[in-house]
Structure formats: C-alpha cells, structure tokens
Structure 1
Amino acid sequence: MSAAKKDQFEKIDRNIHNVCWLVFFTSNTMASLDMRGCTCVLFYIVITLYTQSTAESRILRGFQDAKMKNRVFLSPPIHVSSKRSKIQCVDACSMVQACISLLYNSVNKSCFLYDQDFTEDDNWDSEENWDYFYIIRVPDWSIIKAECNKQDRFQYIQSLDICFKLFHQKEKYHEALDDCKNSNGGNLMKIDRKLKQKEVENYLDSVSGSLSSYEQIRIAGYHSKYNTWVFDDNEAMTYFNWNTGGDQPDGQTGIALSVGAGYKWHDVSDDRDLKFICEIRA
C-alpha cells in the first residue's frame, strides 16, 4: 500500500462506527461509494470491510477466487438472501460469525453464505454468473505482517493473513508451547479451516527435502477431559482432517500432521518429541 493511500485511510474519522473498502490491487485509482453509512473505496479483487467501535477495530476481507467462478457447490449454505452487490453480500457475511465463504450471483443477486471453505476438489455444478469469495477476519490491517517481518524465517501468507514457521528441533507438547510463546508471543499452529490446511501443506511440500515420510509435525489442539477437541486457548475445534483410513484418532491427546499420510492428522502423545509449527496470531 502506498504512503498516500495509507494516509487517506488514517484520516478517516475515528468516531465512524463502520467503514468498508473494496480494494482493486491492480488499479492506482480510487472511487468512493456510500453503503449503509459506510465509506467504500474501490480497487480490484478483494472486498475489505473495516468496522470500528470504542472496543476494537476489525478487518473482514473477502477474497474472490477466479478459479472457482461459475461454480455452485452442492453443500447447503447456512444462509440465503438477495443482495444488490458483492459488497452487500460480504457485508451480510460479516454479520454471521460462522460465515467463512460465500457465493454471489451478479444477475439474480443471490447471496449464499457458508461455514466451510471450498476447493477445486469439492463437488459442484456449473452455472453462469456466480463468484466465490473466502473470508478472513483479523483485528487490524497489518499487525500480523509487521510482527512476522520481525521474526527469523517465519512465512507470511497474505491471502490468509497468517505467519508461521516449522521448527525442526523435536520437543514435547509443553516444550513446543513454550518455544512458540518465546517467538514474540506465538502459539502452536491453529488449523481451523480447509484453506489454512492447504497453505500449510504447500509450505511443507516446499521443504519436504528436510522431512522424512515417517515424521509427524505437532500443531495446536488437544483432547480435553470433557471428551471434546479444543485448541490450546480452549476454543472448540470445528474443522478436522483426520487420517480416517489409518484409524485416526485412536486415543491420544495431541494432534500432529503425518508427512507419510499426505499431512492428514494423527493424534499423538504429549510426551512424544516431535517437530512443530509455530504461528503468530493477531
């Protein structure tokens, strides 16, 4: 983002409750629209909603995936409505905490909200005029990237606003937690959606020369005393990628990615010495 654009954003009245931007990355021109009392700035590809209150600032971005154009997925949406524009459809998603992706039809104005990600291997029907967006929510525009740039060899993935690193030393669960926290307050990698799993897989493939097929790599999550899977901050887990063909999970308390099983999840003992992935979260 240029300094001039950043200055324009920073001059927005801090007392405004809702501000939204539709960003076209390939354009240097900006145009303003009004929607629901918001200021909207247009660029290309990413719809970004910026909400501000006295409590916090929060960014919600809708990334349009061109590879998924004109696809209608067979999984049922969690909410269906009619919206005049893509911006309003993303705005509707911002009001539903479970919403992480959406479809919008530019002709009949249908807006489908989903609580799951979709990739090219999901079942779909071909139908014209549909655009697919996946959604990410972050507390501030550049906190993660700024912190990521301070760390040694952490990887920043802009499309999901995540920052992470594979640690090659092998440690037990609590030792790995401590090492992550020593990395600027990091945590074990929280994989809470399909797209994040895919990004981690792509990264591990890129360093596969340093990994053997029998290795397992620890990530966040454990089996609680209430017989539920939760992350290290006690948030309930809703996305899973167990290696069900390998009879997983099978009674252990932690979670690791199995290299030989295509990074499917295996449950593991807290006392096992494993490589691990740390993440810096906003």
Structure 2
Amino acid sequence: MNHSHRLHNPFESDAQRGKIAVVSGASSGIGRATAQQMRATGWTVYAVARRAARLHQLAEETGVIPVVLDITDESAVAQTALRIIEENSGSIDALVNISGGAVGADSIADADGSGWRSMFELNVLGTLNMIRAFLPALRASGEGTILNLTSTAAEHGYEGGGGYNASKFGERGMTEALRLEEAEHNIRVIEVAPGMVHTEEFSLNRLGSPKAAEKVYEGVEKPLTAEDVAQTVTFAVNVPHHINLDRIVMRPVAQASQFKVIRK
C-alpha cells in the first residue's frame, strides 16, 4: 500500500493520520461502527470479517481496507497478518478485537456442547489467533495498542449464560495476563466490557428468532447502541499512548447491574 495516498483521502481527519489499525468483526454491529469511527478520526483501518459483500460495502462508504477472514482459522489469520504487516513496513499501531458472539441461552444442565465450543473458539481462541499473529508488528511500532471487547458477562454468571459467561471470563483472563506480559514492550492493553447493547444481530443470532431477540430489550428505554460502544472504543485508542484505560465497563443507565434492569 502506498501511504502517500492517505494525504488525499476524503474520508479521514487529521487526528490519527498515518496510524494503522486492524479491526475484527467489521461486517456488522459494534465492529462495523468502530471501523467507521476510527476512519473518521484518521486511522487507516483494515476491516476484518467473514462476509465479503458487507465489507466491500463498508469500504465504499468509508475507505476501510476490506479483509475477508475467519479469525478461528489459525493458519489463515497468520498468513493474512503477514501480508498486512509487510504492506506496512513491519509494524501496525492497533489491534481492535471486536469479533465475538453468543450461542443459545440453555441452562448448564441442558447445555449444548457444540454451542459452548463455538463460543470458546470465537471469543477466546479467535482473539488469541489475532493477538499472536499481530503481536510482533505491535511491538515493532514502539507504541502498540490492543483492545479486546469483552462483556459484563465476564463479571458475573447469570442463568442461561453459562457458556457465554465461560468464554467471556476466559477472554477477560487472557486480556489481564496480556497486559502484564506486554507492558515491557510499551503495548497498552485495553478491555471494553459493554452491558446491554441493542444491535441488529447479537440477540437474534443467540436466540434464533426476532421475537425472542426483541424481548431482551423490551421496555428498556435506551439500551446502548453499536455506535455508543464504538465511540468509547475509539476514544480509548485515541487518548495519548501513555494513558491506559485498563478496563471500561459501560451499561445503559436503565441497567443498574447484570441483575437490575428498569423496564417501562
């Protein structure tokens, strides 16, 4: 990629001009909104997801660089990372791991092992694949940032959430260990943990029907939106590098805790 072309790119502002980010989960929801908002502050964004058509639409709208990739495929991630790193002279500035998801809401007694396995492969091992592949380039930048999107499901278990809780607790544990391990390389590691976020796909994918998905948000006046979370993620990666926002927990005001939601 010829970096001189950035100076004339109509999509970017001056704030983070020249900085390179890789954002996963960019075909919808929080990932898509994050790619948009990071572009708007000047980042060159490699937008990673499985759905090519959605990525190419996002690229046309915002100027992101589309990267069709399944992050659970370790060898594909490694090969793609090498290509991106080579295009950017051996370093990138930020890795933003938004990809994730939940499958089902069964009790542990009735758990579907395949659903648990898919959540662990995406939320934990997929994130691990991305981190391992891009870590050398983040170290090489001298001021690298890794941001992992977890969930308030990583704070407390709840009925019907066992598999999602387990995977997000795992992702949180990995994030905390990574922060300790990479501080000596001047890599800051940020965790953003949203509560109730109303996106077009998360609850639908989890529960399988529009009616069941909408019931999750029933009566909640203002759940968080994808744009709300993306704004927080973008702020966290844009603050001066010596500031590490270790963990940001964000919920709608109506969700006072995992166990108290005001429904009108």
Greater Rg over alpha carbons, structure: 1
- Using structure 1 for the length normalisation, give the TM-score: 0.26
- Using structure 2 for the length normalisation, give the TM-score: 0.27
| Greater RCO, 1 or 2 (C-alpha within 8 Å, sep 6+) | 2
